[in-house]
């Protein structure tokens, strides 16, 4: 399994797509940080509400919830961790390297397992990169506008573990979906279609479904509700984590069965 993970690392760092995803993630993160500073109502759900104005059109996060929102501004990048997981396995089929991979590792469930472990690590690393970018970019902007950089750093332990966990779980889910569909374009369309369009429609039609869909489970897993999941109609953090993990592993199990019975030419 260690050899499989090393192989995955070699594939990842020698292809351009993962690095492009990292670049897109950092760009999105920068835009979300900008939105937070431009918002006139910066985290009113947190204690104290409102923001401290330093100039027209700008606010400085200063309450606990506002600073946590700033630190976790890159949380929506979980969709990129999902796509990273999808690309981890579908690229093998797109570029026809899967035949060689199966010759080296004939046990196909182990092949998928190696992808799962590596994707989880890669997703966690992506989260760390975004957190570091937020601390640097958001922290410098905060300090330049009269905010407290140290107060922001103090919120890092409350946000970082949940965000890293969610990115890893979404990467696992991506591998699971990719192992079932294998076609890269189809897998990407299904993932983007579900998380950008269909999931929101489902939640609007059936409100009780919110805690069961992956995004709701991820929000609970990240502990964004600070342990008050039931008050927001969501699971507690450990329940959300198990549900997200179950989604990924079920898809991966189905994909492993399909790949075992499939003739790869």
- How far apart are the two ends of the chain, measured CA to CA in Å? 24
Mean pLDDT score, 222-229: 57
Q: Residue 146: pLDDT band by 50, 70, 90 thresholds?
A: confident
Inform me whether the pLDDT recorded for 70 exceeds 60.
Answer: yes
Rounded CA separation 97/26 (Å): 29
CB contact at 8 A, 222 and 162: yes
CB contact at 8 A, 223 and 162: yes
pLDDT in tens, 90-139: 999 988 888 888 888 888 899 999 999 999 999 999 999 999 999 999 99
Q: Residue 227: pLDDT band by 50, 70, 90 thresholds?
A: very low
State how many domains the chain has.
1
pLDDT in tens, 9-65: 777 777 888 889 899 999 999 999 988 888 754 444 333 334 443 344 457 888 888
- Name the nearest CA neighbour of 71 among 61, 59, 58, 84: 61
pLDDT at 226: 45
Inform me whether the pLDDT recorded for 177 exceeds 70.
Answer: yes
Segments forming the whole domain that contains residue 163: 2-261
Torsional sign, CA 241, 220, 253, 126:
negative
Chain Cα centroid distance, residue 80: 6
pLDDT in tens, 233-261: 789 999 999 999 999 999 999 999 999 98
Q: Note the pTM of the prediction, 2 decimals.
A: 0.87
pLDDT at 231: 46
pLDDT at 229: 43
pLDDT at 45: 39
Residue 102: count of CB within 10 angstroms of its CB: 15
pLDDT at 122: 94
Q: Residue 194: pLDDT band by 50, 70, 90 thresholds?
A: very high
CB contact at 8 A, 138 and 33: yes
Rounded CA separation 46/251 (Å): 37
Q: What is the number of residues in the chain?
A: 265
């Amino acid at each position: 399994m260690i050899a499989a993970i090393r192989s995955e690392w070699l594939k990842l760092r020698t292809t351009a797509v993962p690095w492009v995803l990292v670049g897109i993630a950092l760009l999105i993160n920068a835009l979300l940080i900008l939105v937070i500073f431009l918002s006139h109502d910066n985290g009113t759900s947190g204690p104290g509400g409102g923001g401290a104005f330093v100039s027209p059109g700008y606010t400085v996060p200063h309450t606990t919830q506002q600073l946590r929102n700033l630190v976790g501004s890159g949380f929506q990048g979980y969709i990129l961790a999902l796509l990273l997981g999808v690309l981890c396995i579908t690229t093998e089929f797109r570029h026809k390297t899967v035949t060689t991979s199966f010759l080296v590792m004939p046990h196909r469930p182990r092949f998928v397992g190696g992808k799962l472990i590596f994707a989880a690590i890669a997703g966690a690393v992506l989260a760390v990169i975004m957190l570091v970018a937020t601390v640097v970019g958001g922290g410098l902007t905060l300090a330049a506008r009269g905010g407290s950089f140290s107060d922001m750093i103090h919120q890092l332990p409350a946000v970082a573990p949940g965000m890293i966990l969610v990115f890893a779980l979404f990467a696992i889910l991506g591998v699971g979906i990719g192992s079932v569909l294998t076609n890269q374009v189809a897998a990407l369309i299904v993932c983007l279609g579900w998380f950008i369009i269909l999931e929101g429609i489902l939640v609007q039609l059936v409100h009780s479904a919110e805690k069961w869909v992956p995004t709701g489970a991820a929000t609970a897993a990240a502990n964004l509700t600070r342990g008050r999941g039931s008050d927001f109609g969501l699971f507690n953090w450990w329940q959300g984590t198990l549900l997200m993990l179950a989604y990924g592993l079920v898809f991966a199990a189905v994909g492993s069965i399909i790949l075992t019975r499939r003739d790869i030419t």
